[in-house]
Structure 1
């Protein structure tokens, strides 16, 4: 979902930075990145291209890989935490990317919290560099009642101690393309949005094009709900219900 939104925003003419926080680096790999991570370049002092840039329609999309693969992550994270000069290098390298992009889309690992090792360094650096800008968090669930309930519990805990930003949207994703399933997902979404006062809520049907990873860089068509969602997110805090 994060990659789709980032591609659509860039296609509309924005310069977009997709921040891939996941340790496996999935979203940056989808966009063709095969180099080192920001964390490794900062910790080791090595030079390397930890991002990949693509022209998308009228705009430009850059994906930055934050973390290396798990075996290297533990070593690099320890170096950065123990050496302030390495963290300063981390911030400096990151700042060079952040200053050149109008919109930042962050792709989180599942169920991560502020302070978790996978996101701690990037979150601190981002907060220092762009504290005064508007931040919104987008929560994504599968269409099951259990899935939606789990995401709402996660949202409640995360929002209770997060000082920056605010909840912006709930997306019920991968809804089976059957009328009764779509109706059930829409009903659940409407109820939750009313209870939580979320400005943007969307139901997105399953579309196999979004999961054909081998050709993702060439993907040019998106479900109409994803297109509408990308437009609604840049208009936050305006309200939108997308079904």
Structure 2
């Protein structure tokens, strides 16, 4: 299963959620691949990858350690720094699109990784405001689906708890869903999750739950989750294994692994 993590803006805890979800799925016995498609590279950094990513390495004609595998309980977590090298992302992408040799090398090396791994879950940490037709997304997704054309995808959208943030996220979800129809993108979407993240202490939980229920009626959302703000997670910069875990993310991992009721809310 592919699990793209999506948000309309930065600062909503998207990369942290991606890391913790990937870790939990691994601890539950899954073989997980976490792909850092965000040019910031935060996911890769917390997993110990500080060298150039896959794309930057190929564009520069260099060899770098852009991947690591961690044993987690009965499972494993492989982290691939696909992009993650900051503002050079757009220039690197142009190099790929204008040079067939570079594009072929990216696809070949990525194909080797995904076909050798036989992963149960592929968690994708995306840049904010990503669309399925973006060239950087298309490059990875088309290559993956060439090898696994029937692989289902569970989209996970992350919002902050503000009314404006939730409404912007819903507009984004509607736009992404319309892209599937108008662009002919076939991502095999089997469901969509909406996570309201970093809810401050003292918030009116019932109001948030009502907002989440209304949101799930407005757009095609299969599962909702409300995750509290944790001081010790904010700007966390230590090892992944020591990263504190909101219990809602553990419950989310179990729901993804074991199944959930349509319209269920985790709180």
CA RMSD of aligned residues (A): 2.0
Q: How does 1:1-243 map to 2 (within 5 A)?
A: 1-99=17-115, 100=117, 101-162=119-180, 163=185, 164-166=187-189, 167-178=191-202, 180-219=203-242, 221-235=244-258, 238-239=261-262, 240-243=264-267
1:137 and 1:165 in contact (8 A); partners too: no
CA separation of 1:19 and 1:182: change in aligned 2, threshold 3 A: same
Compared with structure 1, are the counterparts of its residues 183 and 219 closer, same or farther at alpha carbon in structure 2 (3 Å cutoff)? farther
| Cα distance change, pair 110–68 in 1 and its aligned pair in 2 (3 A) | closer
Contact 1:141 1:173 in 2 (8 A): yes
Between the two structures, name the one with larger relative contact order (CA 8 Å, sep ≥ 6).
2
Cα displacement (A) at 1:23: 0.8
Q: Which residue of 1 aligns with 2:5?
A: none
Distance in 1 of aligned mates of 2:164 and 2:90: 33
Structure 2: any 5+ residue segments left out of the alignment?
1-16
Sort the Cα spacing of 1:171 and 1:147 in 2 relative to 1 into closer, same or farther, 3 A: same
Post-superposition CA distance 1:116-170 (Å, at most 9, x none): 3443422332333333111111111111111000000001011111232334200
Number of aligned residues: 242
The answer on whether the counterparts of 1:140 and 1:171 sit within 8 Å (CA) in structure 2 is yes
Mapped to 2, the partners of 1:212 and 1:68 lie a distance apart of 18
Q: So what's the TM-score if we normalise by structure 2? A: 0.83
CA–CA distance in 2 between the matches of 1:156 and 1:221? Answer: 32
Give the distance between the partners of 2:87 and 2:245, measured in 1 at CA: 36
What residue number does 2:9 align with?
Answer: none
CA contact (8 A) 2:233 2:243 kept: no
Which string of whole-angstrom CA distances, capped at 9 and with x for unpartnered residues, describes residues 27-67 of structure 1? 11111111221112332343222112211121111111111
Indicate conservation of the 8 Å contact 1:168/1:237, yes or no. no
Q: Distance in 2 between matches of 1:220 and 1:43?
A: 33
Structure 1: give runs of 5+ residues left out of the alignment.
none
Structure 1 distance, partners of 2:87, 2:201, is 40
2-structure distance, mates of 1:182, 1:88: 50
